[in-house]
């Protein structure tokens, strides 16, 4: 098993999955492979030829992985991105476990339930799409998507809005960010991986928000989470989402329930 992404050096997935394999006595190993975008198609074909049974796919490959898969489950098709691949006769089967992982992380880390509420998402890639689907499935009333490349945000809204009705989905300019009390702000870019990362807005002085940065770092919070907490907001990073999506991926690969507590401990070691 393995992870394809660019970069992957920070990933906790190998520790998490290898601990799970060991706990259940499975003869398996999970490795991380740094694959540039132009090498993804060859890497997927090579993994299949070598007998790799399953893969995770992370930034920036989630949308391309769906296009390159032989088949896809309904959630991956709805999102337009895949983060989990299962080897099958004839090619890879694509799944998206980010949707369930994100919803569970919001509930358990922030005590946040989206029903009837409004969310703002910074980013317009595969992770942002998963967040939109998770929030809409949970009953969110309005979702606004913002991205430095405004055309990508518009494309995302155009593609997903008809599929998630009655939730309202709209692409807005970054300067239009105007949250109300209890709104959710989601960071769905890799920006949080950088020490010098900043939100595009000053969060101090805003109404109290729930803030979730889908990025994560080993042993410490992301810069975006630190900023949000310093401004008085409830905030969490993507470690829990990684755990919960990983547990679902483990089940898809092995047919076994994942030892979530073992996986969580391995992520902290």
> What's 75's domain CATH number?
3.40.50.10860
How many domains does the structure of the chain reveal? 2
At 98-147, the pLDDT tens digits run 999 999 999 999 999 999 999 999 999 989 999 999 999 999 999 999 99
**pLDDT of 190 over the 90 cut:** no
Q: In which domain, by residue range, is 160 found?
A: 99-237
Residues 54 and 37 in one domain: yes
Q: Are residues 59 and 89 in the same domain?
A: yes
Name the catalytic one among 61, 62, 233, 239: 62
- Sheet containing strand 84-88, strands side by side: 31-34, 2-5, 54-57, 84-88, 91-95, 71-72
Q: Do 255 and 225 share a domain, yes or no?
A: no
So what's the pLDDT on residue 196?
86
178 and 206 belong to one structural domain: yes
Residue 24, class by beta-carbon neighbours within 10 Å (0-12 exposed, 13-18 middle, 19+ buried)? middle
Annotated active-site residue 62? The verdict is: yes
145 and 211: one domain? yes
The CATH number given to whatever domain includes residue 161 is: 3.40.50.720
- Residue 150 Cα to chain centre, angstroms: 20
130, 65: one domain: no
The pLDDT tens digits of the residues spanning 46-78 come to 999 999 999 999 999 999 999 999 999 999 999
| 150 shares a domain with 22 | no
Per the rule left: phi > 0, alpha: psi between -120 and 50, beta: everything else, 91 is: left
Instruction: Please state, rounded to an integer, the average pLDDT across all residues of the chain.
Output: 96
Give the confidence band of 161 by pLDDT, cuts at 50, 70, 90. Answer: very high
What's the whole-model pTM score? 0.91
């Amino acid at each position: 098993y393995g992870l394809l992404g660019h970069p992957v050096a920070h990933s906790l997935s190998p520790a998490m999955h290898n601990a799970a394999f060991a706990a259940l006595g499975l003869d398996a190993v999970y490795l991380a492979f740094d694959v540039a975008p132009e090498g993804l198609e060859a890497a997927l074909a090579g993994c299949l030829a070598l007998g790799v049974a399953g893969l995770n796919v992370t930034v920036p490959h989630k949308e391309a992985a769906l296009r390159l898969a032989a088949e896809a489950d309904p959630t991956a098709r709805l999102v337009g991105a895949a983060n989990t691949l299962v080897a099958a006769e004839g090619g890879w089967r694509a799944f998206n476990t980010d949707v369930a992982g994100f919803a569970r992380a919001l509930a358990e880390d922030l005590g946040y339930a989206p029903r009837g509420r409004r969310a703002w998402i910074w980013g317009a890639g595969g992770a942002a799409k998963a967040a939109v689907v998770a929030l809409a499935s949970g009953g969110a009333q309005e979702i606004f998507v913002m991205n430095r490349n405004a055309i990508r945000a518009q494309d995302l809204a155009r593609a997903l809005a008809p599929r998630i009705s009655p939730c309202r989905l709209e692409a807005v300019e970054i300067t239009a960010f105007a949250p109300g009390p209890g709104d959710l702000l989601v960071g769905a870019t890799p920006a949080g991986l950088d020490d010098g990362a900043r939100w595009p807005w000053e969060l101090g002085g805003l109404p109290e928000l729930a803030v979730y940065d889908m990025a994560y770092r080993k042993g410490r919070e992301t810069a975006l989470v630190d900023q949000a907490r310093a401004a008085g907001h409830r905030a969490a990073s993507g470690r829990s989402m990684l755990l919960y999506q990983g547990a679902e991926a483990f089940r898809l690969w092995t047919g076994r329930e994942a030892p979530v507590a073992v996986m969580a401990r391995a992520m902290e070691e």
